[in-house]
Amino acid sequence: MNKPIYVTQPTLPNFESFTDKLKELWENKHLTNNGKFHQELEQKLAEFLGVEYISLFSNGTLALMVGLQVLRIIGEVITTPYSFVATTHSLHWNGIKPVFCDVREEDGNLDPDKIEALITPQTTAILPVHVYGNPCDNEKIQKIADTYGLKVIYDAAHAFGVEQDNDTILNWGDLSILSFHATKTYNTFEGGAIICKDAKTKQRIDYLKNFGFAGEEIVVAPGINAKMNEVSAIMGLLQLDLYEENRMKRQKLVDLYKSKFKTVEGIRFINSDKNIKENYSYFPIFIDKNKFGKSRNDVYDLLKQNNIFARKYFYPLISNFSTYRALKSASKENLPVANKMADEVLCLPLYADLEIENIERIVKIIIE
């Protein structure tokens, strides 16, 4: 049987480089709490991403939870059901009611034309997601937020390094939240970050992620422990050197996938705008059973039988999980596009070291 092919596989830095950094860490014995490597990574990431301020976290979910606290979000927040559950769970843990809005079929992002109808006196913010790293319609979303006095927090878990019109999308809204999970094009094993625009907000973020400490004997807020440790920071520094090379390798693989599928009836994929610099973290296809002749589940099972492990990402829809499906906004009638996409999506294997022959085999299995 062929060697298993998984939907993603991290590219790791040179082991000797990693151990050299670890030796230095062992010598200085500063393992966490804003150590040397943590400070260096924050500085380098801010420069690389083109942002003013960045605060590192142990993971993206805690970063999102703290971000909501930083902006003092309460009441209701309009968000997407087509995302990873951490998006909505972060609202739940802050005692905030998620209000689900349908998405656009062309990219899976929050549909700005459907937001205003969901705004109530309890609405305080909009939480869009740059799905698969594809930018949301920032201008329309921001215009709505300004009109109704709402905050905008972008779940940018998939959007590391993504640019539109030669400018980062991470400065949109009031905050952007990144994930550096091992499945991402850029990773720190586990990790995340908050992007903000001013030093005062960064200071509040840094207080809240460290129990609320503003000094050795001063606690200014009921914070949480969400700090990134020095080992993850080391990983992040080394991965940053590899990022552009890995991104270009992934781009070639995505281009190959697209060339193979472009004439196949019943299979579509997201076509990004030519003015977008992508990070190629994922390659989702959408399978229309009526046109293709087989369902997404049929294809998923067939690939699995051939030791190829794709992923139904995102399925089930967040609004269909038992935790949220009782909400009025979770009704399937209100979310036809999101439900359709969740039923059709299949993310195919994509990582920098994936061999072209394996892509050829994956495509052949699906088409034949």
CATH number at residue 361: 3.90.1150.10
**Does residue 9 lie within any of the structural domains?**
no
Which of 238, 271, 294 corresponds to the end of one domain?
A: 238
Query: What confidence score (pLDDT) does residue 271 get?
Result: 80
Q: How many residues are listed for the chain in this entry?
A: 368
Q: Give the domain CATH number at 106.
A: 3.40.640.10
Strand ranges for 70-221 from DSSP E: 76-79, 97-100, 123-127, 151-155, 163-164, 167-168, 175-179, 192-196, 213-215, 218-219
Mean pLDDT computed over 338-349: 98
Indicate whether 286 and 191 sit together in one domain. Answer: no
Indicate whether 284 and 234 sit together in one domain. Answer: no
Asked if residue 183 has pLDDT above 80, the reply is yes
Indicate whether 37 and 75 sit together in one domain. Answer: yes
Query: What confidence score (pLDDT) does residue 242 get?
Result: 96
- 272 pLDDT band, cuts 50/70/90, is confident
Indicate whether 81 and 183 sit together in one domain. Answer: yes
Indicate whether 226 and 319 sit together in one domain. Answer: no
Least confident window among 70-84, 261-275, 293-307, 308-322:
261-275
Indicate whether 230 and 263 sit together in one domain. Answer: no
The residue among 202, 224, 203 whose CA lies nearest residue 214 is 203
User: Which element (helix H / strand E) includes 56?
Assistant: strand 53-57
Convert the pLDDT of each residue in 137-178 to its tens digit: 999 999 999 999 999 999 999 999 999 999 999 999 999 999
- 45 pLDDT band, cuts 50/70/90, is very high
Angle, alpha carbons 263-269-274 (nearest 5°): 100
Higher pLDDT, 124 or 2: 124
**Does residue 266 lie within any of the structural domains?**
yes
Number of domains composing the chain: 2
**Does residue 335 lie within any of the structural domains?**
yes
Structure pTM? 0.97
Query: What confidence score (pLDDT) does residue 273 get?
Result: 77
Query: What confidence score (pLDDT) does residue 1 get?
Result: 61
**Does residue 4 lie within any of the structural domains?**
no
- 24 pLDDT band, cuts 50/70/90, is very high
Question: How far apart are the C-alpha atoms of 56 and 37, rounded to whole Å?
Answer: 11
Indicate whether 353 and 308 sit together in one domain. Answer: yes
Question: How far apart are the C-alpha atoms of 324 and 353, rounded to whole Å?
Answer: 38
Indicate whether 35 and 148 sit together in one domain. Answer: yes
Query: What confidence score (pLDDT) does residue 171 get?
Result: 98
Residue 40: domain span: 15-238
Indicate whether 260 and 152 sit together in one domain. Answer: no
Question: How far apart are the C-alpha atoms of 157 and 160, rounded to whole Å?
Answer: 7
**CA-based torsion, 215, 219, 220, 224: positive or negative:** positive
Per DSSP bridges, beta strands 5-6 and 218-219 are unpaired
Indicate whether 234 and 246 sit together in one domain. Answer: no
Indicate whether 54 and 105 sit together in one domain. Answer: yes
Mean pLDDT computed over 116-145: 98
Indicate whether 173 and 264 sit together in one domain. Answer: no
